[in-house]
């Protein structure tokens, strides 16, 4: 089973939920936590994992053999990203713009383009007390998180484990990349107009992907009650509510997972997991029918 | 004309609260919401829309079923696994067009993709350029670039002094697109270990692109030890602390009322944001 933890708005508590859910489950189930927020991965700050392996994430970018090149311009003509240009008797490549699609090397009539790899991030794996942990890190200055997220997700072993994915904020392609293939998506929000606006967008994105979702309401009591109203209207279940509490905020600030600092929350997370399972089972029953 | 962008790395540290307040404090400026996939600034500024424009960006492969002979070459060469069973998954398609070039029966065409809208609105604080990325669309930074372009154009036409941009979280394409060529980046952080970790990375992006940066510590009293750590890290890297804002629920109350906090209350938070804008202004005109 794959459960992703997303939010729309940043800073609503995805990392708090993903880490505490993983820690609560790890004594009962085999759990993998995948940090797919590769631009700003934070799970490791809370879990302090022992990293046992690290692999580079690379894109294949063109390398032009000018001895073979006839400057016909085919490569520049097929590149959708303006990452290769032919100017007179020169071929210029712009590595930062290249998506690594491979069209230029394949279509070069002179076979003058080979490919070399360019590192844009890394994937690290390790563990914390029996919890399996994988995270991606986009290299600072690089623009494209997609390939790093895809590489992190290759580690997902959902036949054998419960996989929890910490998703980047927002509603665009990196979110879709991270959430795609999940059995359930938890949407973490806060009861403010910003939280509600971004929740609405996140719900649209997850529904577009056809993935069932439920809401975690964090910092309850801080703003207004419009998020509850919206959830009711949209038949979105609120699966867990965490109040605005300075103790929780202080633990968070020190990088201490909620269920470690306040172990009484563990039952709440186990209950959350049961609700998710029940929701997935019900959906499966409905599709069988 | 000077352009300042507010960034944070980590989401939810208070970028929009600060930009909303700057909107009320700054004179002769254009506001730009560059967080196009979860835009919130309009919720504080009550804009009335003056112009709406479709944003077309990139392409998506389309297979003509009648022409396709199901040879499978497109599926084989696509590195984004965007074609399965001779159908294109628009979410995975990166628009590279490789498939359209290799299809032996020319069954694949590339079609333009409408990925969102941008708007020019009037607010009581001045013009606002904002956008809405279509659901599950690629945020390549192009829509952000369009928003900035419009904001700069308005600033030029009306001879305004500042463009103030609310940036997206993270460090990837939309952040780079919001940042490149700006006069100053104000990095809003919070004294949490994750906020500090993310600040480090977004500061790295500013250095990479040669944009000067200043730091604002929001909710600084949540963990004073971490605040001290941020201050000392900034000092050692020669980064100025432009302001420190205490935690106060009045910030959320202002959001609920849909107004910038400096207009909602005149307490400590608002005074600190006043001072922050003063420092930023001084630095911009230095």
CATH number at residue A72: 3.30.70.20
Residues B174-189 have a mean pLDDT of: 96
State how beta strands A90-93 and A84-87 pair. Answer: antiparallel
Domain count, chain B: 2
- Asked, for residue A107, whether it belongs to a domain, the answer is yes
Which residue from A7, A40, A250 is facing B9, i.e. has the nearest CB? A40
Task: Report the DSSP beta bridge partners of residue A185.
Answer: A4, A213
Tens of pLDDT, residues B222-239? 999 999 999 999 999 999
- Are residues B85 and B191 located together in one domain of the fold? no
Q: Do A10 and B10 touch (CB under 8 A)?
A: yes
A103 plus A131 within the same structural domain: no
Element (H, E) at A167: none
| Phi, then psi, of B29 in degrees rounded to 5 | -145, 165
Q: What is the pLDDT of residue B283?
A: 94
- Average model confidence (pLDDT) for chain A? 96
State whether A71 and A172 are in the same domain: no
What pLDDT is stored for residue B51 in this prediction?
Answer: 97
Residues A9 and A34 in one domain: yes
Whether A2 and A213 have beta carbons less than 8 Å apart is answered as no
Same domain, B233 and B254: yes
Q: Work out whether strand B29-33 and strand B126-133 pair parallel, antiparallel, or are unpaired.
A: parallel
Instruction: Determine which of B39, B46, B93, B98 to mutate to test the interface with A (most A C-beta atoms within 10 Å).
Output: B98
Residues of the domain holding B107: 57-114
Tokens of residue B95, six digits: 């628009």
Q: What's the confidence (pLDDT) of residue B86?
A: 96
In a domain, B185, yes or no: yes
Answer whether residue B95 shows pLDDT above 90.
Answer: yes
Q: What angle do CA A112, A114, A115 make, to 5 degrees?
A: 155
Asked whether residue A159 is domain-assigned, the answer is yes
DSSP β-bridge partners for residue A189 = A217
The residue-averaged pLDDT of A221-240 equals 96
pLDDT for A266 equals: 97
β-pairing, B184-189 vs B2-7, is: parallel
Residue A169 is nearest to which of B169, B176, B193, comparing CB atoms?
Answer: B169
Look at residue A116 and tell me if it is in a domain: no
| Nearest residue of A to residue B133, measured between CA atoms | A172
**Do the Cβ atoms of A106 and B96 come within 8 Å?**
no
- A172 and A283 share a domain? yes
Q: Are strands A113-128 and A131-138 parallel, antiparallel or unpaired?
A: antiparallel
Contact A197, A219 (CB under 8 A): no
pLDDT at A110 over 80: yes
Three-state secondary-structure class, residue B87: strand
Whole-number Å distance between alpha carbons of A126 and B188: 31
A106 pLDDT higher than 90: yes
- In this complex, the residue of B38, B58, B253 whose CB is nearest that of residue A171 is B38
- Residue-wise pLDDT tens digits, A36-57: 999 999 999 999 999 999 999 9
Put simply, the chain B residues between 3 and 62 with a CB less than 8 A from any chain A CB are: 9-13, 16, 37-38, 40, 43, 58-59
B51, part of any domain: no
Phi, then psi, of A160 in degrees rounded to 5: -100, -25
Pairing of strands A113-128, A50-64: antiparallel
- The beta-carbon neighbor of A143 closest among B12, B176, B193 is B176
Whether residues B15 and B77 share a domain: the answer is no
Cα atoms found within 13 Å of the Cα of residue B218, Cβ hemisphere only: 25
**What is the structure's pLDDT at B92?**
87
Number of folded domains that form chain A: 2
Q: Do A223 and B258 touch (CB under 8 A)?
A: no
Say yes or no: B39 and B62 in one domain. no
The full DSSP string for A12-32 is SSHHHHHHHHHHHHTTTS-EE
> Is the pLDDT confidence value at A275 over 90?
yes
CATH number, domain containing residue B228? 3.40.50.300
Question: Does the complex come out with an ipTM higher than 0.85?
Answer: yes
Final residue of a domain: which of A93, A111, A129?
Answer: A111
pLDDT of residue B137: 84
The reply to whether B186 and B254 lie within a common domain is yes
- CA angle at A228 for the pair A225 and A230, rounded to the nearest 5°: 110
Helix/strand/coil for A145: coil
Residues B37 and B151 in one domain: yes
Q: What is the mean pLDDT of residues B137-141?
A: 79
Q: How far apart are CA B6 and CA B186, in angstroms?
A: 5
Q: Is B74 in the same domain as B189?
A: no
- pLDDT category of residue A5 using cuts at 50, 70 and 90: very high
Q: Is A58 on the interface with B (CB under 8 A)?
A: no
Same domain, A180 and A265: yes
Residue whose tokens read 């600040």: B199
- pLDDT single digits (tens) B28-56: 999 999 999 899 999 999 999 999 999 99
Percent of chain B with pLDDT over 90: 93
Of the candidates A11, A141, A208, the beta carbon closest to that of B11 is on A11
Chain B residues 63-102 with a CB less than 8 Å from chain A: 77, 79-80, 91, 94-98, 101-102
What's the per-residue H, E or C state across B13-49?
CCHHHHHHHHHHHCCCEEEEECCCCCCCCHHHHCCEE
pLDDT digits (tens, 9 = 90+) for B230-264: 999 999 999 999 999 999 999 999 999 999 999 99
Residue A27 in this model has a pLDDT that exceeds 80: yes
Inter-chain CB proximity B204 and A103 less than 8 Å:
no
- Examine the domain organization and report whether A100 and A128 are in the same domain: no
Is residue B139 a part of any domain in this protein?
A: yes
Helix (H, G, I), strand (E, B) or coil at A281: helix
| CB contact set of A167 (below 8 Å; sequence gap of 6+) | A4, A5, A6, A7, A14, A36, A37, A175, A178, A179, A185
Which residues lie across from A132 on neighbouring strands? A32, A127
Tell me the mean pLDDT in the region A155-173: 94
Helix (H, G, I), strand (E, B) or coil at A187: strand
Task: Please tell me whether residues A279 and A169 are part of one structural domain.
Answer: yes
Residues A84 and A210 placed together within one structural domain of the fold: no
Collapsing DSSP to helix, strand or coil, B233 comes out as helix
User: In the predicted model, is pLDDT for residue A288 greater than 80?
Assistant: no
Among B130, B226, B252, B253, the strongest candidate for a mutation testing the A interface, having the largest count of A CBs within 10 A, is: B252
Q: Which domain holds residue A276?
A: 2-57+121-288
Question: Is the Cβ of A62 closer than 8 Å to some Cβ of chain B?
Answer: no
pLDDT of residue B9: 96
Chain B residues close to A192, C-beta within 8 Å = 252, 255-256
What pLDDT is stored for residue B136 in this prediction?
A: 78
Q: Are residues B35 and B77 in the same domain?
A: no
**A223 phi and psi, to 5 degrees?**
-120, -105
Looking at residue A163, what is its pLDDT? 98
Verify that B141 and B221 share a domain, yes or no. Answer: yes
Given a cut of 80, whether residue B113 has pLDDT beyond it is yes
Q: Are residues B67 and B144 in the same domain?
A: no
pLDDT at A283: 86
* Whether residue A24 has pLDDT greater than 80: yes
What is the least distance, in Å, from the CA of B199 to any CA of chain A?
Answer: 9
For residue A6, tell me if it sits in a domain. Answer: yes
Average pLDDT over residues A165-194: 96
Q: Is residue B164 part of a domain?
A: yes
Kindly determine whether residue A176 and residue B141, on different chains, have CB atoms separated by under 8 Å: no
> pLDDT-derived band of residue A267, with 50, 70 and 90 as boundaries?
very high
How confident is residue B91, by pLDDT bands cut at 50, 70 and 90? confident
**Confidence band, pLDDT 50/70/90 cuts, at residue A142:** very high
Mark whether B235 and B278 lie in a shared domain: yes
**A129 closest CA partner among A17, A48, A55:** A48
Q: What are the chain B neighbours of A169 within 8 Å (beta carbons)?
A: 11, 38, 169-170
Q: Does residue B211 register a pLDDT over 90? A: yes
Q: Is the predicted pLDDT of residue A58 greater than 90, yes or no?
A: yes
Question: Which of B77, B81, B171 has the most A C-beta neighbours within 10 Å, making it the best mutation to test the interface with A?
Answer: B171
Contact in structure between B260 and B20 (CB atoms under 8 Å)? yes
Cβ of A141 within 8 Å of Cβ of B10? The answer is no
CA A138 to CA A121: how far, in whole Å?
A: 4
Query: Which domain-ending residue is among B74, B94, B114?
Result: B114
Six token digits for residue B11? 């989401």
Query: Are residue A200 and residue A147 in the same domain, yes or no?
Result: yes
Nearest CA in chain A to B221: A250
Torsion, Cα of A48, A53, A59, A63 (10° steps): 130
CATH number of domain containing B109? 3.30.70.20
Residue A63, pLDDT > 90, answer yes
Rounded Cα distance between A170 and A202, Å, is 7
Q: Tokens 């590595």 label which residue?
A: A95
- Rounded Cα distance between B125 and B29, Å, is 9
| Tokens at A15, concatenated | 């990392």
Closest chain B residue by Cα to residue A8:
B38
Spatial CB neighbours of A184, under 8 Å, sequence gap ≥ 6: A1, A2, A3, A4, A211, A212, A213, A214, A276, A279, A280
For testing contact with chain B, the best of A79, A170, A180 (most B CBs within 10 A): A170
Q: Is the pLDDT of residue B4 over 90?
A: yes
Residues A245 and A107 in one domain: no
* pLDDT band at B121; cut points 50, 70, 90: very high
Spatial distance between the Cα atoms of B281 and B275, rounded to a whole number of angstroms: 10
Same domain, B84 and B221: no
Residues A128 and A79 in one domain: no
Contacts of B258 (CB under 8 A, 6+ apart): A193, B43, B44, B46
Q: Which of B84, B190, B194, B206 to mutate to test the interface with A (most CBs of A within 10 A)?
A: B194
CB within 8 Å: B197 and A40: yes
How far, in Å, CA of A110 to CA of A130, rounded?
53
* Conformation bin of residue B137: beta by default, left when phi > 0, alpha when psi is -120 to 50: beta
**Secondary structure of residue A62 in the 3-state scheme:** strand
| Helix (H), strand (E) at residue B276 | helix B268-284
- Taking CB atoms within 8 Å and a gap of at least 24, the contacts of A22-25 are A22/A131, A22/A164, A23/A47, A23/A131, A23/A257, A23/A259, A23/A260, A24/A259, A24/A266, A24/A269, A24/A270, A24/A273, A25/A162, A25/A164, A25/A269, A25/A270, A25/A273
Kindly determine whether residue A40 and residue B38, on different chains, have CB atoms separated by under 8 Å: no
Q: Indicate whether A176 and A274 sit together in one domain.
A: yes
Residue B206, token pair as written in the block: 């500013």
Q: Measure A194 CA to nearest chain B CA, in Å.
A: 6
Whether B182 and B5 have beta carbons less than 8 Å apart is answered as yes
Residue B135 pLDDT: 82
> Has residue A98 got a pLDDT over 90?
yes
Q: Which residues pair with B14 in a beta bridge?
A: none
């Amino acid at each position: 089973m794959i459960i992703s933890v997303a939010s729309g708005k940043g800073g609503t508590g995805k990392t708090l939920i993903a880490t505490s859910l993983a820690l609560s489950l790890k004594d009962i189930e085999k759990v993998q936590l995948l940090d797919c927020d590769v631009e700003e991965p934070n799970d490791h700050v809370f879990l302090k994992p022992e990293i046992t392996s690290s692999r580079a994430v690379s894109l294949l970018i063109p390398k032009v053999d000018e001895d073979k090149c006839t400057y016909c311009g085919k490569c520049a003509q097929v590149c959708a990203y303006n990452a290769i240009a032919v100017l007179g008797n020169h071929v210029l490549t712009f590595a930062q713009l290249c998506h690594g699609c491979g069209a230029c090397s394949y279509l070069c009539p002179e076979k003058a383009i080979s490919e070399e790899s360019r590192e844009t991030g890394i994937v690290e794996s390790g563990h914390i007390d029996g919890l399996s942990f994988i995270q991606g890190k986009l290299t600072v200055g690089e623009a494209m998180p997609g390939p790093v997220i895809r590489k992190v997700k290759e580690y997902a072993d959902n036949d054998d484990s419960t996989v929890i994915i910490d998703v980047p904020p927002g509603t665009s392609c990196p979110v879709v990349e991270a959430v795609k293939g999940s059995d359930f998506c938890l949407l973490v929000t806060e009861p403010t107009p910003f939280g509600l606006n971004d929740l609405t967008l996140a719900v649209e994105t997850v529904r577009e992907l056809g993935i069932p979702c439920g809401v975690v309401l964090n910092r309850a009591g801080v703003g207004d009650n419009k998020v509850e109203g919206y959830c009711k209207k949209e038949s979105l279940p609120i699966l867990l509510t965490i109040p605005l509490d300075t103790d929780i905020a202080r633990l968070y600030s020190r990088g201490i997972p909620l269920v470690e600092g306040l172990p009484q929350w563990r039952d709440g997370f186990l209950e959350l997991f049961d609700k998710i399972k029940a929701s997935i089972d019900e959906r499966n029953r409905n599709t069988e029918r | 004309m000077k352009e300042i962008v507010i960034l944070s790395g980590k989401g939810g540290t208070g970028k929009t609260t600060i930009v909303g307040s700057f909107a009320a404090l700054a004179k002769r400026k254009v506001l730009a919401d560059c967080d196009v996939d979860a835009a919130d600034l309009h919720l504080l500024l009550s804009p009335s829309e003056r112009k709406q424009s479709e944003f077309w960006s990139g392409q998506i492969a389309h297979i003509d079923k009648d022409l396709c002979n199901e040879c499978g070459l497109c599926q084989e060469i696509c590195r984004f696994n965007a074609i399965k069973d001779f159908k294109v998954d628009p979410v995975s398609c990166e628009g590279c067009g490789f498939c359209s070039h290799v299809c032996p029966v020319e069954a694949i065409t590339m079609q333009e993709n409408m990925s969102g809208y941008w708007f020019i609105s009037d607010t009581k604080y001045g013009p606002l350029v904002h956008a809405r990325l279509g659901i599950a669309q690629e945020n390549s930074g192009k829509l952000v670039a369009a928003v900035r372009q419009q904001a700069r154009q308005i600033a030029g036409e009306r001879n305004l002094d500042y463009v103030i941009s609310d940036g997206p979280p993270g460090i990837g394409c939309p952040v780079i697109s919001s940042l490149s060529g700006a006069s100053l980046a104000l990095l809003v952080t919070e004294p949490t270990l994750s906020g500090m970790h993310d600040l480090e990375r977004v500061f790295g992006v500013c250095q990479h692109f040669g944009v000067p940066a200043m730091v604002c510590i929001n909710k600084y009293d949540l963990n004073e030890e971490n605040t001290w750590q941020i201050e000392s890290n900034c000092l050692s890297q020669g980064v100025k602390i432009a302001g420190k804002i205490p935690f106060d629920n009045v910030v959320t109350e202002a959001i609920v009322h849909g107004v910038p906090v400096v207009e909602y209350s005149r307490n400590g938070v608002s005074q600190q944001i006043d001072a922050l804008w003063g420092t930023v202004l001084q630095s911009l005109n230095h």
